[in-house]
Amino acid sequence: MSKTYSKTRTLVECALMIALGTVLANIKIFEMPNGGSITLLSMLPFILVSYRHGTKWGLFTGFVNSLLQMLLGFYAPPAPGLLPLVGMILLDYVLAFTLLGLAGAIAKPFKNRLVGVAVGTAAVCGIRFLCSFLSGVLIWGNLSDGLPAWTYSLTYNGSYMLPETILTTVAEKSFSGPMFEEVTAPFPGQTLLDRTSMNTWEDQAVIDKVNEIGKPRIVLAGLWTSVCIVGPALSALDQGFEVFVIADACGDISTEAHNRAMDRMVQAGAQPITSLQYLLEMQRDWARTETYDMTTGIAKKLGGGYGIGITYAKTMFGAHEG
């Protein structure tokens, strides 16, 4: 894979994370009157960039997001003058969001990855709180209604930053959640490959497993078509694999998004199929009695109208083929 392609893909991913962060920032659980809110994990995308691509990309993505946040919701400082304006821009926007990109660097020294991720995430959330706290003391302190400026700032910023930090740190450790039982049940004892990369193809453990199996053909299904499937599909095609994508065994945030993701893969050379089509292509012949019961059992449970048809035919006519 060329460096130019890799850099372009990283830029695209960073742009998607900025877009995701912007959407999450507008899903507000609670909003303060003079700026600040508890959002739905709006810091998480920028922290993930830092873990995946390093400090440089994390800082870059956070900085671009800080400019975007200023454009979308700028709060003018209560005191006139250039100094309060510059101070607020730096503390409430540029530094507060850019420094989220340090998460990966803070986590790196820890041998236990989970501990490192938790510490790195909590640390950058704490840095963002410190920026907001200093802004409250130095710039917004005249709104304290008689309270000491530091008390006002600590109370005001802590009321939304503490819950935001907890939500983000917890989500970082359990972002994907457990694997669905429907996926693990057919493969008892199979070790799951835990990873942080969005593109499966970039994970060394996955690459080693693919090389160990040594097959030239790959069949893909997953949770999120645009992310979980497009990345490894394009990477596998680029390396000469024959790729089949089970179109109805993955989904997206909308039908349009799913369809465009499928189009992207088809244009690159992937072949779309359905889950039932894949199942029956593997069975091939109903005379293969060793897999007949398993195939029809899956079809009856998950095959929709076809499964109902099998049940009806067996019940009414004693049929023994699909």
CA distances from 230 to 183, 260, 307 (A): 20, 10, 30
Cα radius of gyration rounded to whole Å, the chain: 25
Tokens of 186: 């057919």
From the list 14, 125, 131, 228, the catalytic residue is 228
228 is catalytic: yes
Contacts of 59 (CB under 8 A, 6+ apart): 50, 98, 99, 101, 102
Buried-exposed string 67-89: b where 16+ CB fall within 10 A, e elsewhere: ebbbeeeeeebeeeeeebeebbb
Beta-sheet pairing, 242-246 with 217-220: parallel
Question: Exposed, middle or buried by CB within 10 Å (0-12, 13-18, 19+), for 284?
Answer: exposed
97: nearest Cα among 36, 171, 16, 175: 36
Positions marked catalytic? 228
